[in-house]
Structure 1
Amino acid sequence: MARSKIKRKSEWILALALFSLFFGAGNLILPPQLGMRSGISWWQTGIGFSISAVGIPMLGILAHARLQGDMFDFARKVSPRFSLVFCYLVYAISISLPAPRTASVTHEMGVAPFFDISALGTSLIYFGLVFILVLNRSRIVPLIGKWLTPTILLVLLVLIGSITLFGGGVPGETLLENPFSAGILEGYQTFDAIGAVVVGGVILISLRNEMPDLEVKERFLYISRAGWLAGTGLLVLYAGLILSGAMLGAELDESLSRTEVLQQMSSRALGYNGNIFLSVLIALACFTTAVGIVTGTADFMKSRFGDSNLAYRITAFIGCFLGVLMGQFPVDYIIAIAFPALMFIYPLTIVLILLNIMPGKWTPPTVFRTVVFTTLFFSIPDFMSSIGMPQISEFLQGWWPLQSYQLGWVIPAIGVFFLFRIFRKVSD
């Protein structure tokens, strides 16, 4: 019955939209260096990266489809106040880290190699234009996005094919102590699990407007199929970039930054002109991402202050000011700064996604609260270690499961969930 109402073409359109949302140009700089450093263990890092950069975000979209709500509903079962704090925290991180990173990627990939402009100058011009478009809610950005993602995807497939089929070498020894967990943690830097929580509700609203006759179950199936199509595309792209990085690892200096590795790969596969073309495309894609993040954050603050346009403008200005402030730093520095925030917010986000995707009878508010606060508590050692205080983490590494992989929160969260399930069955 559902297939009679849902056309395959519309599923592909939604799949492309989802792919575009998660396919941030900033993400492209992560897999090549990861592959270069992983060497013969590229498939282990690839699996880890795919779990946190593809699997969890796609499950986030499915969780929204099951919830049929917005971002605020994601943590409502913990408490409305906790949910509001979670929303503020997610948006604060978004405008402080991934948005500025787009300017830094643009400078290193599309400006510095060709023009004598400082990083501060690029950042000022970049976020000045972002501010103008956010205030005017220009249609330029959506129009660019319609052709930009398919074009970048095509160029990257040529790059990957050129290296893996014709021009690559043999992967060397791995430089990573724990390739699988390194892949998971590098996948955090895509921010895509957070992105799924933010944009999932927006997709549902658009779907209700465009297809108001769809029932809840049909809407879930529609989003599910589109989500897996998008996830498959991301998986192929990331795996190809990781393998390409591994195959060129012996020819590249291990001290190269993430953007430098991608540039070297691009020059090798596409030549000088092709590298320029890809750099311009990445710069444009970064710009549209920054506009989207600042606009989304400003919209949220506007809704929290009685639909105030002043709140929208102030938030847009603060977001762009933070962009200039942080965007002038190198990409790898911003990634290092982001790591502590991600070690705190990502475990929480992953747990909320997994809890929301389960049947409601399995996850009453008591289970939500206990699992969430258990996750937060056992994330403290990894967070402390990420800010230069590794004493607790080092103490636990000898006997606490997965602590040496900076995933010490996983077993406690799972254990608490199943304990509550067992207790619930016994009590019933």
Structure 2
Amino acid sequence: MPNTLNRKDSLAIGVMLFGLLFGAGNLIFPIFLGKSAGSSMPEASLGLLVTAVGLPLLGVAAMGMTQSKSVFDLTASVHSSFSYFYTFLLYLTIGPLFAIPRLSTVAFEVGTSHFLPKDHSAPWLLAFSFLFYALALYFALRPAKILTVVGTILTPAFLLFLGVLIFVSIINPVGNIQLSHPSAGYEEHAFFLGLLSGYNTMDALASLAFGIIIINSVKSKGVTEPKLIAKEVIKSGVICTIFMSLIYIALAYLGATTTNIFPETSNGGQIFNALASHYFGVIGSIFLFTMVSLACLKTGIGLITAISETFVEMFPNTMSYKQYASLVTISSFALANAGLDRIIKFSIPVLMFLYPLTIVLILLAIASPLFNNSARVYQITLMFTLLASIGDFLRATPTYIKTTVPVQAFLSIYERYLPFSESGMGWILPSLLGAVLASAYYIGTKQRISRY
């Protein structure tokens, strides 16, 4: 039995993780960030890499180091109630609330935004999303070779096309990045806005959900020692993050060149369509639309399957896999017709609440050997984080919510006394305070026990 993976196996598992994580959000947010940041693209990209690349790597590492079998298992160290709450919210977020509805709308925007007036696109989106989710449900209920075909043939073809588009854009850019004026806020806060943009990819959340797949893949190659499994999982994660970093930087650069050229584009899907049409004409737009649609369909099938299986395990004797899959698909179809811009807008408050909990949970899991996986350390630290993340959640809500008297009163205190709150990072100081208090509690308890 081998103790470590050879280079070929490490590369294969790293590429597999890349395939699991690289979805619709990984395309549209980096390129739109670049367009918004303009000449501030380098600083914004650095922030994006921290949350969209660094955090997923830490998430996979946390799963590997703790040998957790699932998100529910990882959070069991906190409390069973928290496990249900967090796991359910995480899977709703990367599932029927936001990530799955976003898949069809990204494909639609990429394929049609250049041809259809926005005011007349609703009936076409309805028809396209109906077909998209009907196919996704059909294949989620009937195991087939479509995932293998799309994963091994069409996804690489799309990445090849993406590589060609990036190459052509670099040697013959549509605009000058130095002349691209940053959007509001990016001149002063490009790094922080890049950090928050990385939330939208949802990859830190997905890394926890997919971590067990990577662990099992490493085990299937004959690695059985827990420390070596963790090492190989991290190694594969590094390979994945190298690929993703290169693509993110390239996409952000592409977006930055379009700031003054395609000012009317309001999301990354529209920018992709405009670039493909600019360089390759109608044929390029059609090819891009086909590749993105199939890649998103593959991701949708995988997410519907994974979420339905998880809910069956979490809530036995409630509904069958088929019923959960149908419910997830129908919900996603309904929400998809709100349109891409609205889905992104509605997802931001939830991500502002969920991401701080995820970041702190990942860091605590990695550091858990230092405090013997003490439940109290988790509970105290996460309690402070949760309370603070409510403030970030409320700051991101629509105007009609955050301008109500109670919310305004809360936010005025929150923004006045918490550093970084205006940048969406008000949870940092409370989390550090919680960690210090939790550590003091653990050390004090340990010393008292050692006396007896």
The bucket for the TM-score relative to the shorter chain is: over 0.9
**C-alpha separation in 1, matches of 2:46 and 2:340:** 24
Aligned pair 1:418/2:436, yes or no? Answer: yes
SS in 2 for 1:249: coil
Q: TM-score, normalised by structure 1?
A: 0.93
- Aligned-partner Cα distance in 2 for 1:213–1:36: 44
Counterpart position of 2:450:
none
**1:290 pairs with 2:289:** no
Q: Which residue identity lines up with residue 402 of structure 2 in the other structure?
A: M
Partner of 2:158: 152
CA distance in 1, matches of 2:140, 2:39: 45
Aligned partner of 2:237 among 227, 244, 260 = 227
- Equivalent residues in 2 for 1:261-272, closer than 5 Å: 261-272=271-282
**Shift in Å, 1:235:** 0.6
Matches within 5 A, 1:211-222: 211-222=221-232
For residue 184 of structure 1, what is the aligned residue in structure 2?
195
Q: Show the counterpart of 1:198.
A: 209
2:352 matches 1:343: yes
Return 61-70 or 74-83, whichever deviates more.
Answer: 74-83
Q: How does 1:91-102 map to 2 (within 5 A)?
A: 91-93=91-93, 94-102=95-103
How big is the shift at 1:239? Answer: 0.8
Letter of the 1:166 counterpart: N
Q: 2:402 matched to which residue of 1?
A: 389
Alignment-derived partner of residue 61 in structure 1: 60
Q: Within the alignment, does 1:139 sit opposite 2:145 as a pair?
A: yes
CA distance in 2, matches of 1:373, 1:181: 24
Mind listing any 5+ residue stretches in structure 2 that lack a counterpart?
Answer: 448-452
Instruction: Please say if residues 347 and 409 of structure 1, whose CA atoms lie closer than 8 Å, have aligned partners that are also in contact.
Output: yes
**Equivalence for 2:425:** 407
Give the fraction of aligned pairs with identical amino acids, expressed as a percent.
Answer: 28
2:250 corresponds, among 240, 247, 255, to: 240
Q: In the superposition, relative to structure 1, how do residues 160 and 67 fare at CA in structure 2: closer, same or farther (>3 Å)?
A: same
Instruction: Tell me the alpha carbon deviations over residues 249-296 of structure 1, each in whole angstroms, 9 at most, x when there is no partner.
Output: 122215533321222222234443223212211111111111111101
**How many Å separate the matches in 1 of 2:258 and 2:114?**
21
Given that residues 103 and 323 in structure 1 are in contact (C-alpha distance below 8 angstroms), is that contact kept between their aligned partners in structure 2?
A: no
Supply the distance in 2 between the matched residues of 1:25 and 1:134 (Cα, whole angstroms). 19
Are the counterparts in 2 of residues 393 and 403 from structure 1 also a CA contact under 8 Å? no
**Residues 61 and 200, structure 1, Cα contact 8 Å, conserved in 2:** yes
Are 1:106 and 2:107 counterparts? yes
For 2:164, give the aligned amino acid: V
The structural deviation recorded for 1:207 is: 3.2
Residue 398 of structure 1 and its aligned partner are, at CA, apart by: 3.8
Distance in 2 of aligned mates of 1:364 and 1:170: 50
2:4·2:232 contact (CA, 8 Å) conserved in 1?
no
**3-state SS of paired residue (2:325):** helix
Aligned to 1:77: 77
How far has the Cα of 1:228 moved from its partner? Answer: 0.4
Instruction: For 1:276, give the aligned amino acid.
Output: I
CA displacement at 1:173 relative to structure 2? 2.0
Per-residue CA deviations over 1:344-369 (Å, capped at 9, x if unaligned) read 11111111111111242335211100
- Mapped to 1, the partners of 2:25 and 2:66 lie a distance apart of 29
Q: For 2:111 and 2:97, how far apart are their aligned partners in 1?
A: 22
Report deviation, 1:394. Answer: 4.0
Give the 3 Å change call, closer, same or farther, for CA 144–317 of structure 1 in structure 2. Answer: same
Aligned partners of 1:287 and 1:394: how far apart in 2? Answer: 44
Q: Which residue does the alignment assign to 2:381?
A: 371
**CA-to-aligned-CA distance 1:49-70 (integer Å, 9 cap, x gap):** 1111111011100100001112
CA contact (8 A) 1:245 1:265 kept: no
For residues 150 and 358 of structure 1, the distance between their equivalents in structure 2, rounded to whole angstroms, comes to 37
Deviation (angstroms), 1:300: 1.1
Judged with a 3 Å threshold, the aligned counterparts in structure 2 of structure 1 residues 165 and 133 are, in CA distance, closer, same or farther, namely same
Instruction: Note closer, same or farther for the CA distance 1:135–1:424 as it changes in structure 2 (3 Å cut).
Output: closer
Q: Mean alpha-carbon deviation: is it higher for 323-332 or for 260-269?
A: 260-269
Distance 2:381 2:199 in 1: 20
Per-residue deviation at 1:423?
Answer: 5.6
The equivalent of 1:120 in structure 2 is: 126
Q: Deviations over 1:5-44 (max 9, x none)?
A: 4211011100110111111033211111211111111111
Distance apart, 1:82 and its partner CA: 1.3
Go from structure 1 to structure 2 and tell me whether the alpha carbon gap of 1:182 and 1:154 turns closer, same or farther (over 3 Å shift): same
Task: Rate the CA distance shift 1:165–1:395 in 2: closer, same or farther, 3 A.
Answer: farther
Equivalent residues, number = 425
User: Could you say which residue in structure 1 is the equivalent of 2:286?
Assistant: 276
CA contact (8 A) 2:5 2:221 kept: no
- Please say if residues 110 and 279 of structure 1, whose CA atoms lie closer than 8 Å, have aligned partners that are also in contact: yes
Secondary structure (helix, strand or coil) at the match of 2:263 reads: coil
- SS of structure 2 residue aligned to 1:59: helix
Q: Give distance in 1, aligned partners of 2:393 and 2:4.
A: 48
Question: Cα 1:270–1:226, aligned 2, differ >3 Å: closer, same or farther?
Answer: farther
Over the aligned positions, Cα root-mean-square deviation in angstroms equals: 2.3
Instruction: Tell me which residue corresponds to 2:342.
Output: 333
Change (3 A) 1:153 1:29: same
Give the TM-score taking structure 2 as reference length: 0.88
